[in-house]
Amino acid sequence: MIPFSPPRIDEKIIDEVVDTLKSGWITTGPKTKLFEKKLTEYTGCKATLCLNSATAGLELMLRWFGIGRGDEVILPAYTYSATANVIVHCGAKPVFVDVGNDFNITVDNIRRAITERTKVVMPVDFGGLPCDYNAINALVKEPMVKALFQAQTEEQKQLGRVMILSDAAHSIGGRLDGKKVGSLTDISVISFHAVKNLTTAEGGCVCLNLPDGFNNEEVYKLLCVKSLHGQNKDALAKTKPGNWKYDIIDAGYKCNMTDIMASIGLVELERYDSESLVKRRQIVEYYNNFFKNKFWAELPAISDSRRESSYHLYALKIKGITESERDDMIQLIAMQGVSVNVHFIPVPMMTFYKNMGYSITHYPNTFNLYSREISLPVFFDLTMEQARTVCEAVQESVEQVINRKGSFVNI
Ligand SMILES: *Cc1c(COP(=O)(O)O)cnc(C)c1O
């Protein structure tokens, strides 16, 4: 069976983890701080906070901005549920909008959804392709849009407009106009979950890039406290002789990264551009080459004149098929020993959100893309021979279902 996205675990990773285990310091400490520094350099943001997940980072930043009851947060209907769940946790209202054909939220749809209750927009860089942050950043600075914004907390007053909180779970290393994800908008949250491009088993980070007027280093320090019980000294600081006393200055959360996780991340980041992204691009280009002449295939957007993806997902679309035909194709592909997936089942289709009153019928393009989407395996250890097996399994399965239909009138 060709797996979908196993992590790259080699001797280098194992040695670094063992080094941490033997060092006597396994929780947040020197390796986490070093990983944060390297992520800041890599992304070009102003400060980076490492955490135990991207989800924790998204929620932490909503809470830092004072999001709560009565507030609205705009997000694409086409995302993983974590993006929406954190809004619900805060007691605010998720306002879903439809996406464009590149799977990303569109500026026009954001504009239409903004009200005087909007506090945050959460764009998602689907599959690793950065959203159009230049246009999104410009939108929330427009005088008419700013005039609608009703600041309630100190942070909201200081920003003076809707905050952009990018769900960059997929897109570390993605670029827009030569700048890297992390430095494209106010806040970007990257995931290091096991299936993501750069993993720490579980993990994530918040890239702080708040505009002038904010001291990002100070915000970083505040978030360190907020992500560790609200305790004013972390475990490492407390180990200094005589430095045992601490205070709780906030009912904080507990979502810090450990040095065991950071040691995996340090190895992964070191070789991310030179090895991981090179291989991912090679696989994606192989798939594109194979599928480009198939009349039924719609290739994913992976780059254009201004953007480049991090090649997280290969989201193939099949022309003119229904959701159940897509499901049949996946079944046939699996029978040939290839693991594929669907990214994502749109959030408004999930039971919890349906029960809240959301309906996928309001997001027609999201449903259209979802119903025809199949994600193919992309991971470092995938050989080109396996990539060929994947392509052939997809071709055979797709054509079998299309032939069964007996007509191409819809295509
Ligand atoms: C994986 C993912 C997340 C959550 O990341 P975790 O690190 O697992 O919390 C959030 N949003 C999207 C779009 C994701 O794919």
* β-bridge partners, 50: 205
| pLDDT at site 236 | 86
The answer on pLDDT for 407 being more than 70 is no
Arithmetic mean of pLDDT over the chain? 97
For 143-169, how does the pLDDT look when each residue is reduced to its tens digit (9 = 90+)? 999 999 999 999 999 999 999 999 999
* Distance (Å) from CA 266 to ligand 1 centroid: 20
Calculate how far, in angstroms, residue 204's C-alpha sits from the geometric centre of ligand 1: 9
Task: Locate the ligand 1 atom nearest the alpha carbon of residue 82 and give its number.
Answer: 10
Residues 6+ apart with CB under 8 A from 95: 72, 73, 74, 75, 113, 118
Q: Quick: pLDDT tens for 14-70.
A: 999 999 999 999 999 999 999 999 999 999 999 999 999 999 999 999 999 999 999
CB 128 within 8 A of CB 100: no
Q: Is any atom of ligand 1 closer than 6 Å to the C-beta of 5?
A: no
- Ligand 1 pocket, 167 CB below 6 A? yes
79 lines ligand 1 (CB under 6 A): yes
- How far is C-alpha 230 from the geometric centre of its chain's CA atoms? 26
| Residue among 173, 142, 114 nearest 311 (CA) | 173
pLDDT tens track for 231-259: 998 888 888 888 889 999 999 999 999 99
Cα 168 to ligand 1 centre (Å): 8
Looking at residue 266, what is its pLDDT?
Answer: 98
Candidate from 51, 62, 166, 167 with most ligand 1 atoms within 8 A of CB, to mutate = 167
How far from chain centre, in Å, is Cα 39?
16
Task: Decide if pLDDT at 299 tops 60.
Answer: yes
| Half-sphere exposure for 17 (CA within 13 Å, toward CB) | 13
Confidence at 408, pLDDT banded by 50, 70, 90: low
Confidence of residue 222 (pLDDT cuts 50, 70, 90): very high
CA of 251 to the centre of ligand 1 (A): 25
How far apart are the CA of 112 and the centre of ligand 1, in A?
26
Q: Is 329's pLDDT higher than 90?
A: yes
The most distant pair of C-alpha atoms in the chain lies apart, rounded to whole Å, by 79
- Give the tens place of pLDDT for each residue, 178-207: 999 999 999 999 999 999 999 999 999 999
The mean-pLDDT minimum among 134-148, 224-238, 262-276, 309-323 falls in: 224-238
pLDDT, tens digit (0-9, with 9 covering 90-100), for 369-389: 999 999 999 999 999 999 999
Verify whether ligand 1 is closer than 6 Å to residue 209 (CB atom): no
Ligand 1 contact via 191 beta carbon (within 6 Å): yes
Using a 6 Å cutoff on CB, does residue 106 contact ligand 1? no
**Would you state the torsion angle of the CA atoms of residues 49, 114, 126, 179, taken in this order, to the nearest 10 degrees?**
-60
Domains and their CATH numbers in the chain: 11-270 (3.40.640.10), 273-405 (3.90.1150.10)
Residue 275 DSSP one-character state: I
Quickly tell me which residue has 């039924």 as its tokens: 296
